[in-house]
Amino acid sequence: MANSLEFNDVGKMFPGVRALSGVSFKAESGKVLALLGENGAGKSTLLKVLSGDIKPDEGEILIDDVQQSFSSPLESIKAGISVIYQERQLIPGLSVAENIFAGDLPGSSGIVNYKELRDAASEIIQKFGLSIDPDQPVGRLSVAYQQMVEIMKAYRRNSSIIAFDEPTASLAEAEISILFRLINELKAEGKVIIYISHRLGEIFELADNIVVLKDGQLVKTFVCSETTEDDLIHAMVGRDIGDTYANLSRNSVYGDTILEVSGLETEDIHDISFSLKKGEVLGFAGLVGAGRTEVMRAIFGADKILAGTVTFEGKEVHFKSPKNAIDAGIALCPEDRKEQGLVLFRSIRDNITMPVLAKLRKFLFLNKKDEAVLADAAIEKYSIRTPTADKIVFELSGGNQQKVILGRWTSDLFPAKLLILDEPTKGIDVGTKAEVYQMVCDYAKAGMAVIFVSSELTEVINVADRIIVMKDGRITGEVLRAEATEEAVLAMAMAGE
C-alpha cells in the first residue's frame, strides 16, 4: 500500500498552451487533497498525467519516493492509481458486478464464475452500505449510483491512490452525502485521495489539504483547517469576488406574461403548470431526476407532449420539433454540453452560428464574412478565451464551451425571447459562475424571460426571482427569492421522503 504520491516539477505543453508548468506537491495516505482552480487552470491535465493518459514533458511522479513512468492508463492502474472522471468509464450494458470486476473477472480457464462474481460484488456493495442489485445493468442506474460503482471498482482494484474529477457535478445533495461517506471510508482505510471540485463548501467539508492551481501553475498549498473561503477564492482568481449574489445587478421591471404552461404531461412529467413574464428569472430547483430537464425539453418541442397546453406570447403553440420553438424565439442551453449542446469537433464559429444559418445566406451560399463577424462578436461579448473563431470547441475549457452556447442564443441574428438555461454552471469555476449569474440578470434586464434550472440550491435560490421546486416529475412548491431558504426548498424537493 502506497503512503504518498508526489508530483515533482511536472510540466506539459499542448499546441498553443502551457497546460502545466513546474507543479510540485505531495499527497499523503489517509488524507484528502483537494485540487482547486478555475477552468483551464490545469486540474484535468494533472489528472490525465496521473492516469497515464498523457505523458508529461517535464518532471516526474513519485509513489513512495519511487519515480514512476506511465506509458499507458493500464500501467497507472497497475501502480495502484484509479482516476474517477466526470464522464464515467463504465460499460452501460454490463451488470454492476461485471463493471466492478471489469478486467479481472473471477473464474478459471477463461470461463467466468458468475456466482463468485456476484458474491464478491455483493460483499463490496454491502461494505459500503449501499443497496444496489449486483445483476442490474449499470446503464439503468442513476448518475449518482454509477459513480458509486466506479468507486467500488477502484476499491476492488485495491488502488491505494484514488482521484476524483468533480464527482458531485451532476449529483443532488442527498446523493452527495452518500458519496462523501464513501470517500471518508476510503480515507479511513489509508488511501491517498485526490479530489477536484469547484464547490468550495464541499472542499471544506472533505479536504485536509488544498492545492490551488492557476494557469497551469501552483499558486499555493493550504491546510484546510487554517484557511477561509475568501483566501481560496483570492488564490484561485487572483482577486476577491466578494459576495457574488449581493453584488448582482438585477432587473426589477417585468413585462407581459410571455409563457404560460398548463397541465403539461409527457411520459416523464405530470400536471405541470406555471407562467413566466418578460424580464423575469424563473428558477427550477429539485434533485437530479426530478423532471426539470424534461419540462424544458417538452416546452422546446424536443419531447412529445401527451396533454396540456403551452401558450407563448399569447398564442397556444404546438412545437413539433426544436426548430419550431427556435423559430418562435425560444432558446435552450441543454444540461449536457458535450452530448446535447455542442458539435465538439467543429469550430467555435460553426457552433455559434448553428441556429441562424438560414439568416446568413446570401443567394445560395453562406455569407462567411457575416458569419465571422457574428462569431467574433460573441467571442468578444463573452470574452471567450481563444486565439481565433476557427478553434475546435473540443479544445476549450468547460466555462468557455458554455459561453459558446450562450453566444449562440444571444447573437444579433437570434435575440432569444425566452432563454432556458439547464444547469448552465455545471462544471465551471467560481469566477465564471459569477459571470454567468450576471449574464442571466443582464438578459432579464434586456427584457428576455429566463428559466434557470440548477441542482445547486444556493445558486438557484439566489439568482432566480422566483423558484419552482420539482420532485418525481411534479411541481411540489413555488417560492419567491426573498422568502426562499435552502431548508425550505430542500424540504419541497424531498417532499414525502
Partner 1 sequence: MTAQKTSKFFRSKSFALIAIIIVMIIAFTLGNKNYISAGNISGFMTNISTAGLLAVGMVCLLISGNVDLAAGTEACMAGIFVATILGSGMPWPVALIITILFGAAMGLFNAFLVNVLGFMGFIATIGMSSVYKGLALVVSNGINVSISNQGFYPLGAYSIQMGKFALPLPFIYTVVLFVIYGLILKYTKFGRSIYLIGGNRNAARLAGVSIKKVSTILYINCGAIAAFCGAVSTAKMNSAGPQAISGTEMDSIAGAVLGGVSFMGGSGGLGGAFIGLFLISAFKNGLTAISLPTYWQTVAQGGILLIALVVDYFGERSRVSALKAEAAQAA
DSSP code of 338?
Answer: I
Only one of the segments 7-15, 36-44, 70-78, 184-192 lies at the binding site for partner 1 (rule: CB under 8 A); that segment is: 7-15
Helices (H), 238-367: 292-299, 322-328, 348-352
Given candidates 91, 345, 480, 485, which one binds partner 1 under the rule CB under 8 A?
Answer: 345
Shortest separation between residue 24's beta carbon and partner 1, angstroms: 20
Would you count residue 358 as binding partner 1 (CB under 8 A)? Answer: yes
The torsion angles phi and psi of 278, rounded to 5 degrees, stand at: -60, 140
- By beta-carbon proximity to partner 1, the closer residue of 5 and 393 is 393
CA angle 463-465-469, nearest 5°? 85
**CA-to-CA distance for 316 and 314, rounded, in angstroms?**
7
Q: Give every CB contact of residue 108 below 8 A, 6+ residues apart in sequence.
A: none
Contact criterion met (CB below 8 Å) for 432 and 277: no
Considering the rule CB under 8 A, would residue 143 count as an interface residue with partner 1?
Answer: no
Selected range binding partner 1 among 172-180, 191-199, 351-359, 465-473, rule: CB under 8 A: 351-359
Closest approach of Cβ 412 to partner 1, in Å? 17
Toward partner 1, which CB reaches closer, 115 or 368?
Answer: 368
What CA–CA distance (Å, rounded) separates 246 from 161?
A: 40
Task: Considering only residues 392 through 431, tell me which ones interact with partner 1, judged by CB under 8 A.
Answer: 408
- In this structure, are residues 176 and 182 in contact, taking their beta carbons and an 8 Å threshold? no
Phi/psi of residue 405, nearest 5 degrees:
-65, -40
Q: Return the range that interacts with partner 1 (CB under 8 A); candidates 61-69, 267-275, 337-345, 448-456.
A: 337-345
Answer yes or no: are the C-beta atoms of 447 and 232 closer than 8 Å: no
Looking at the Cβ atoms of 247 and 345, the one nearer to partner 1 is 345
Among 360, 377, 441, 495, binds partner 1 (CB under 8 A): 360
Alpha-carbon gap, residue 389 to 349, rounded angstroms = 5
* Alpha carbons 39 and 45: distance in angstroms, whole number: 11
Of 361, 383, 388, 483, the residue at the interface with partner 1 (CB under 8 A) is 361
> Residue 485, interface with partner 1 (CB under 8 A)?
no
Residue span 265-304 as binding mask against partner 1, x where in contact by CB under 8 A, dash where not: -----------------------------------x-x--
Terminal CA-CA length for the chain = 41
Residues interacting with partner 1, by CB under 8 A? 13-18, 300, 302, 321-323, 326-327, 332, 334, 339-346, 350, 354-355, 357-358, 360-361, 364-366, 368, 408
